[in-house]
C-alpha cells in the first residue's frame, strides 16, 4: 500500500512516526507523498491551540483528497480513543504501535484493544542519514503544570526497561549511527527498577563505540550535581533544553512549575560552573493569564542572565481540561504578540553573542552531509557548523571555528 505520513509536535511524536514508517516499509508498503498515497497517517499534536488547528487542517485536506478507497489514520495526542468514522480511523497513543499490523489486516482494528496498550513496542527506526536518531526512553507525565494537556493526553509517567534502551542503542551504534537523542515527555522523571536517569546515562556511556548521547528537553527539577557531572562526559552533547516557561516567581507558581527563578538559576549554574560554554536553550510561554509588564520584565531579565542561545517562544493558548483554562485574567492577543517580538529580538542578540564565543576555538564536528562544496553538521555544543571543505558524512572531526556574522553560523577548518 502507498502511504504518506504527516507528523506534528514534539521529538517524541517524531521518534514514534519514524519507527512506524520504518516498520511499514519493512512490511512492503511504500512511503510516498500525500497526492500519491491511498493511506494518510496524521500524527497529531494538541499541546497548543495552533497545533490543534494544524491537525484539523491536515485532516480536512486528506478528507478533501477523497480518492476512492483512500484511508486516513489519525493518531497522536488528538486521538484519545479508538473509533472509526467512515474511512477515518482514530488510534490513540496507547495503540499507535499496532498501526503496521492494522495496515496489513484492517479487520484487526475492530478488536484493537484486545492486543493491549503499549508505549514502547516501537521497533528502532531506520533513517537515510546515519547521523542522529531518537531513542524513546519514557512517556507520560503527572506534574500537571496548569497550562498543559500532556498529562491528560499521554497519561501517567512510564519508563522503558533499561535493558531495552541499552539493546536499542547497541543495535543502532553497530548500524553506524553517531548521535542518540534520548526522547520522552518528561525524561527527567525516568525511573526503572528504582534506577533513575543518571544511572541510565552512565550505562549508555559505557557502551563501546564512537558516538555521542544527547539529552533532549529536561525539567530543572531533574538537574542535580550527579547529572551536572555526567553532562561533562566526552560522549555527552554539551547542550540541554532546560525548560523555564517564565522568569516571574508569581507566574511560575500559577503554572505549578515547582521551582522559583532563583532555584532555576542554581540548577543552571550547577552545570555551567563545570563548563562555562555549556549550551542552554529553553521554552518560554508569553501571555500566561495574569502576566503583568513586571512579570514579563522578570522573564527578559532571567533569559538575559541565563544566556540562552535559543528560546522556543509560545504564546499562551488555553487548553481544554487544564486548570489555567479556567483562569479569567487573560492577556490580550496584541500584548502576547508584542511580548513575543520583544523576547525574540533579545534572543537573536543572545544567540549571536553565544556563537561569537566560538571564534577561533577548537571543537568536535559531526559531519552530516555535503552540499555546494561544504559539509554541514553540529559541534559538541549542538551549534550548527559548516566546514569549509567537503568531508565524509557521519564522522567526527576536530575543527577550528569562526563566526560568520553575515550568515549567523559557525564555519570551520579541519585541524
Chain residues in the site for ligand SF4 (CB under 6 A): 141, 143-145, 148, 150-151, 185-186, 219
Shortest Å distance, C-beta 262 to ligand SF4: 20
Shortest Å distance, C-beta 257 to ligand SF4: 7
- Identify which of residues 116 and 321 has a Cβ nearer to ligand SF4 in the complex: 321
Number of neighbours of residue 277 by Cβ within 10 angstroms: 14
Q: Which residues of 25-50 are buried (b: 16+ CB within 10 A; e: fewer)?
A: eeeebeeeeeeebebbbbbbbbbbee
- Identify which of residues 319 and 376 has a Cβ nearer to ligand SF4 in the complex: 319
Residue identified by cell 552512565 is 202
Shortest Å distance, C-beta 52 to ligand SF4: 15
Shortest Å distance, C-beta 134 to ligand SF4: 17
Residue identified by cell 543552571 is 268
Shortest Å distance, C-beta 369 to ligand SF4: 33
Q: Is 76 in a helix, a strand, or coil?
A: strand
- Identify which of residues 324 and 331 has a Cβ nearer to ligand SF4 in the complex: 324
d(CA 339, CA 314): 11
Shortest Å distance, C-beta 258 to ligand SF4: 9
d(CA 122, CA 368): 25
| DSSP class of 245 | B
Exposed/middle/buried for residue 203 (C-beta within 10 Å: 0-12, 13-18, 19+): middle
- Identify which of residues 141 and 213 has a Cβ nearer to ligand SF4 in the complex: 141
**Three cell numbers, residue 10:** 514534539
**Three cell numbers, residue 73:** 489514520
- Identify which of residues 40 and 160 has a Cβ nearer to ligand SF4 in the complex: 160
Strands (E), 24-111: 30-31, 39-44, 71-76, 83-85, 88-90
Shortest Å distance, C-beta 268 to ligand SF4: 17
In 3D space, the residue among 270, 239, 221 whose CA is nearest the CA of residue 363 turns out to be 239
Alpha carbon distances (Å) from 273 to 266, 268, 278, 341, 354: 10, 9, 9, 31, 16
- Identify which of residues 246 and 387 has a Cβ nearer to ligand SF4 in the complex: 246
- Identify which of residues 139 and 179 has a Cβ nearer to ligand SF4 in the complex: 139
- Identify which of residues 59 and 186 has a Cβ nearer to ligand SF4 in the complex: 186
Shortest Å distance, C-beta 219 to ligand SF4: 6
In 3D space, the residue among 216, 212, 247 whose CA is nearest the CA of residue 233 turns out to be 212
In 3D space, the residue among 219, 300, 286, 303 whose CA is nearest the CA of residue 251 turns out to be 286
Shortest Å distance, C-beta 375 to ligand SF4: 36
Dmax over CA atoms of the chain, in Å, equals 62
- Identify which of residues 142 and 329 has a Cβ nearer to ligand SF4 in the complex: 142
Q: Which residues contact 45 (CB under 8 A, 6 or more apart)?
A: 8, 9, 10, 13, 51, 52, 54, 55, 76, 77, 78
- Identify which of residues 152 and 173 has a Cβ nearer to ligand SF4 in the complex: 152
**Interior angle at CA 24, CA 17 and CA 59, nearest 5:** 50
**Three cell numbers, residue 70:** 483512500
- Identify which of residues 10 and 58 has a Cβ nearer to ligand SF4 in the complex: 10
Shortest Å distance, C-beta 177 to ligand SF4: 27
Shortest Å distance, C-beta 10 to ligand SF4: 9
Number of neighbours of residue 362 by Cβ within 10 angstroms: 12
Amino acid at each position: 500500500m502507498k502511504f504518506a505520513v504527516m507528523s506534528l509536535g514534539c521529538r517524541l511524536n517524531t521518534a514514534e512516526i519514524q519507527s512506524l514508517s520504518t516498520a511499514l516499509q519493512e512490511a512492503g508498503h511504500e512511503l510516498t507523498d500525500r497526492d500519491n498515497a491511498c493511506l494518510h497517517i496524521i500524527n497529531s499534536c494538541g499541546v497548543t491551540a495552533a497545533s490543534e488547528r494544524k491537525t484539523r487542517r491536515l485532516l480536512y485536506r486528506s478528507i478533501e483528497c477523497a480518492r476512492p478507497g483512500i484511508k486516513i489514520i489519525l493518531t497522536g495526542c488528538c486521538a484519545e480513543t479508538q473509533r472509526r468514522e467512515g474511512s477515518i480511523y482514530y488510534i490513540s497513543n496507547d495503540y499507535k504501535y499496532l498501526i503496521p499490523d492494522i495496515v496489513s489486516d484492517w479487520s484487526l482494528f475492530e478488536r484493537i484493544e484486545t492486543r493491549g496498550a503499549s508505549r514502547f513496542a516501537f521497533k528502532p527506526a531506520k533513517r537515510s542519514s546515519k547521523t542522529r536518531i531518537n531513542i524513546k526512553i519514557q512517556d507520560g507525565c503527572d506534574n500537571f503544570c496548569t497550562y498543559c494537556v500532556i498529562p491528560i493526553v499521554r497519561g501517567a509517567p512510564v519508563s522503558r526497561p533499561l535493558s531495552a534502551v541499552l539493546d536499542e542503542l547497541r543495535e543502532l551504534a553497530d548500524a553506524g549511527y553517531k548521535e542518540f537523542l534520548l526522547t520522552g515527555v518528561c525524561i527527567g522523571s525516568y525511573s526503572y527498577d528504582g534506577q533513575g536517569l543518571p544511572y541510565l546515562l552512565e550505562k549508555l556511556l559505557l557502551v563501546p563505540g564512537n558516538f555521542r548521547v544527547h539529552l533532549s528537553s529536561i525539567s530543572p527539577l531533574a538537574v542535580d550535581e550527579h547529572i551536572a557531572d555526567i553532562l561533562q562526559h566526552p560522549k555527552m552533547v554539551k547542550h540541554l533544553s532546560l525548560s523555564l516557561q517564565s522568569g516571574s516567581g508569581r507566574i511560575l507558581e500559577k503554572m505549578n512549575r515547582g521551582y522559583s527563578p532563583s532555584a532555576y538559576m542554581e540548577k543552571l549554574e550547577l552545570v555551567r560552573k563545570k563548563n562555562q560554554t555549556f549550551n542552554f536553550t529553553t521554552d518560554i510561554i508569553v501571555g500566561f493569564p495574569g502576566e503583568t509588564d513586571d512579570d514579563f520584565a522578570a522573564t527578559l531579565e532571567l533569559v538575559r542572565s541565563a544566556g540562552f542561545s535559543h528560546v522556543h517562544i509560545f504564546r499562551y493558548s488555553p487548553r481544554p481540561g487544564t486548570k489555567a483554562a479556567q483562569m479569567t485574567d487573560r492577556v490580550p492577543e496584541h500584548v502576547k504578540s508584542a511580548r513575543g517580538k520583544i523576547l525574540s529580538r533579545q534572543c537573536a542578540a543572545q544567540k549571536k553573542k553565544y556563537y561569537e564565543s566560538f571564534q577561533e576555538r577548537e571543537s568536535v564536528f559531526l559531519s552530516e552531509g555535503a552540499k555546494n562544496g561544504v559539509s554541514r553538521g553540529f559541534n559538541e555544543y549542538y551549534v550548527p557548523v559548516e566546514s569549509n571543505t567537503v568531508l565524509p558524512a557521519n564522522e567526527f572531526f576536530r575543527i577550528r571555528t569562526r563566526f560568520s556574522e553575515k550568515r549567523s553560523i559557525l564555519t570551520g577548518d579541519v585541524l
